Amino acid sequence: MPALTNDDLAKVLEDVVKQLVDVFREQQVQTLQAATSQRAKFEYEMLQHRPELEVLVMSSESTGNYVLFALPLLGEKPQWDPKNLIEAEDLDSVYIPDGFHAPNFSVTTNGLTIFIGYPMKEEAKSDAAWPLLVEWPAKMLLSSQVTQTPPSSKGQSSVELIASCKKMFLQQWRRRKDFIAELRHHVIVLEYDAVDFSQVFFMLQEQLNDQAPLRILVLQLQFTAAFFLTNCMSDLQVVLLDGEADTAPVPVALAASSTPPSPDPIAHSQTCASQFLESTRKSLLRHFYGE
């Protein structure tokens, strides 16, 4: 019998691990099916055909034995292929990813995972809060701060919770994406956060009058959690960059103004971007000319 190569050994080990994982998953489902909680078993029936569903039976002092369902919040990972966009869409879509309507997670970026827990005993025997949380990738810190999720899974079904959390996340995420897309129509966007749309670097031209020098400025806009609570421009973080590594960015304070909500998200992003640029230019004039 010939000796196994390193690749053969790796394949054997991989198969063994897969078998162990399959056995463990089957045991978790069997434990759930033997539970007395009809609610937990009903929720499993609702979720069992969803891709990448994981079932884990756990225990805690406050909740007792409970089952935890883990699955992607957004379903399958959206794929954004610039080459296909060039062939099928307009070229502008390559630079601001309107070709997808959710974050484009690469193979190196973890997706959004929602964890929903239900007691293994009958509901009346458990008064503690039922587990519910969303695990956010490190690159989506802002979304984790501004997305409101229910404190417990007790009041809604798992399907309702997934739809609600997904809606709350996408509302704020698309608001930032549309803002940056609109900003590109007015200034030169150099770079932006393509996963969470939490920040953008852009170039702006400024000139006080015909006799004053023309300044080409590079600025960074950082969205903050406070902005999504107050809708006030002064809660946005804007800094002026000069390209020197040893020079600290100069803060650009914006006026305390707000944009009224609009049922049309596109019109709202247009108004917000226009108001932001106007406030930024006024602040820059005060910085350079004291006016």
Is the CB of residue 43 less than 8 Å from the CB of residue 49? no
Percent of the chain with pLDDT over 90: 34
For 190-210, what is each residue's pLDDT tens digit? 999 888 999 999 998 887 677
pLDDT (0 to 100) of residue 21: 84
Strands (E) across 230-285 are located at: 237-241, 250-251
Q: What is the CA radius of gyration of the chain?
A: 25
Whole-angstrom distance, CA of residue 89 vs CA of residue 68: 41
Residue 266 confidence class, pLDDT cut points 50, 70, 90: confident
Is the CB of residue 135 less than 8 Å from the CB of residue 170? no
Whole-angstrom distance, CA of residue 28 vs CA of residue 18: 15
Could you tell me the pTM of the whole model?
0.80
For 5-56, what is each residue's pLDDT tens digit? 777 778 888 888 888 888 888 888 888 888 888 999 999 999 999 988 999 9
Whole-angstrom distance, CA of residue 210 vs CA of residue 161: 58
For 171-191, what is each residue's pLDDT tens digit? 999 999 999 989 988 999 999
